[in-house]
A and B are shown apart, each in its own frame.
Chain A
Amino acid sequence: MRPAVVVTGISGNLGRTLARLLHRRERIIGIDRRPFDGKPKDVEMFQLDLRGRKAEDVFRRNDVQAVIHMGIMHDPRMNEEEHHSFNVVGTTRILDYCARYGVKKVVMLSSANVYGPSPDNSNFLTEDAPLMGASRFSGVRDLIEVDMLAHGFFWRHPNIQTVILRPVHIVGPNIKNAPSNYLRLRHPWVLAGFDPMVQLIHVEDAARAMIEALRPEAKGVYNVVGPGEVPLSAILRELSRAPIPFPHLLARPLLDVLFTYRLASFPPPELDHIQFLCAVDGSRWVKDVGWKPRYSMRDTIRSVLDE
């Protein structure tokens, strides 16, 4: 039986990009609650919830060599309990299967958002910076917990190569996360007088990074940076946006009301990302795997425009 790579969360935009790049080289088994639209023929797909019993069958019946775990939800409107259960229990289960079925490589997708934007931040946070993302944004709590679960797993199983990737904001055509949605607005909000440096990475570069993580040289936690950093105003100018400046003391309470009444889809704590720095140093990843993003800064920014 040919060894397989299990990819959770494969039906998302990032997952599908990854599948497209990897399916010819590796045998992929995808797990996701959602259907995989446009699935390549050689990818096996199981529509399952990781928390259920059926997910374990995938490991019983196949020779799983590696797992790429992207099956983490980030939905500010989802009920907190369900959100937490899906992320934490789901991750716990899959790590458990990895340990029990002799999986050699585990790649976990985390995010540079775990550090959290703050006026106290240095301009280039390294992997050992404290994960403060949840101090003003409870929605990030799950992400941090999952990042920590992977850390614990890494220390408990020294014979398994665990890689935790913390990419910067992922943007791309069809990506529907907060940064991409924000940049697609004709008149995005900005906080008057604030213009932090922002780091972006193209969805294809992010997918390539996860594939690179399968290499034996990759081990431990890594910040993954795209083509660099630019001021937020430069990004908005590149996309020909006409931003609306709000006084920062007014913006948060205003967005709170709009979000509560579903007139805006951005939870108020996200405003911190357009006010303070949350930028990382990616040199450890560059050193270990020779990482070089394929998309330039201009192309990465403009990728939100394509459909």
Chain B
Amino acid sequence: MLEQLGDELKKTLRRWTESMVGKDLRARIEKVGRRENEFGVDPFGFDLQYALAAMAPFVWLYKQYFRVQTFNIDRVPPGRVLLVSNHSGQLPLDGAMIAVAMLTEAPRPRVVRSMVEKWVQTLPYVSTFMARAGQIVGTPENCRRLLEAEEAILVFPEGVRGLGKTWGQRYRLQDFGLGFMRLALETKTPIAPVAVIGAEEQAPSLANLKPLAKILGFPYVPLTPTVIPLPLPSRYRIYFGEPMVFSGRADDEDAELDKKVATVKATIQSMIDEGLKARTHVFR
């Protein structure tokens, strides 16, 4: 009986998604490359029908709450690609917004896979939700496999450093990890730089309550004006840059990779600065 409840709920949510995205959702789904088996899942457990239902509240956020505007989304190349973006806003809604944009607005609709931390696998319900929605455990082997299957992976090299940063650090890129560059070189994958403007203001963090974070085992606990980091309706603007192709040895020493990563970081920082200059109002 619980099964049927689940199925009815999924159908209702899918209808909601379709009503928000419009008639061309079906055509878009057709265009997306699919690798599902007779049980409707791809080798990593991604279930498109589930994802279309699960994304409904995020599509609502996209259209009605954050009123996302995208710029140059057509620059994302077909085939394998690493979308590399700044990360902010305490809650990783920026990832969800990029994913919705790539499915519902890009001329070449893509299902974007983003990486989850290994510890998410220990959480009931969240772990299953992530898998069915196409998110994967961020091991190098998993990423390599997906890129070799010409899929699109979304990476936030700042990680929790970017997410949890306090208001004083807003729009200043934190340290980048090197992993994504190694992956790009190994699999010869182009990098599509992305800059998200507007996520910082959704939950301005006045302080990081480190002792509390330690007790709870969380990477950070923000103190926001709304106490719990429920997002404010800032307007999201997502800028997509020209694809960057790097060549070289993936097993090069860190110093070499650092140089390449610095180029990507500088590109994204300049995209952020331009986006901020062009912005006239945070919430409109």
Contact = CB atoms under 8 A, between A and B. Distances in A.
Interface of A: 119-124, 126, 191-195, 197, 228-231, 234, 237, 247-248, 276-277, 296-298
A234 B38 CA distance: 10
Interface string B26-49: 000000000001110101110000
A55 B72 CA distance: 74
Contacts of B119: 119
A120 B118 contact: yes
Give the residue among A123, A195, A297 with the most B Cβ atoms within 10 A: A123
Contact of A122 (B41, B127, B141): B141
Given A122-B139, A228-B43, 17 more contacts: A119-B118, A119-B119, A122-B141, A123-B136, A123-B137, A123-B145, A124-B145, A191-B124, A193-B123, A194-B128, A197-B131, A231-B39, A231-B45, A234-B39, A234-B41, A237-B3, A297-B38
B141 to A, nearest CB: 4
Given A122-B141, A122-B142, A123-B137, A230 B41 contact: yes
A119 B122 CA distance: 6
Interface in B1-46: 3, 37-39, 41, 43-45
A248 B141 contact: no
Contacts of A229: 43, 45
A124 B43 contact: yes
A248 B123 CA distance: 10
A297 B37 contact: yes
B120 to A, nearest CB: 8
Contacts of A231: 39, 41, 45
Nearest to A195: B128
B218 interface: no
22 contacts: A119-B118, A119-B119, A119-B127, A120-B118, A120-B139, A121-B137, A122-B141, A122-B142, A123-B45, A123-B136, A123-B141, A192-B124, A193-B123, A193-B124, A193-B126, A194-B124, A229-B43, A230-B39, A231-B41, A231-B45, A234-B39, A277-B121
A188 to B, nearest CB: 15
Nearest to A120: B118
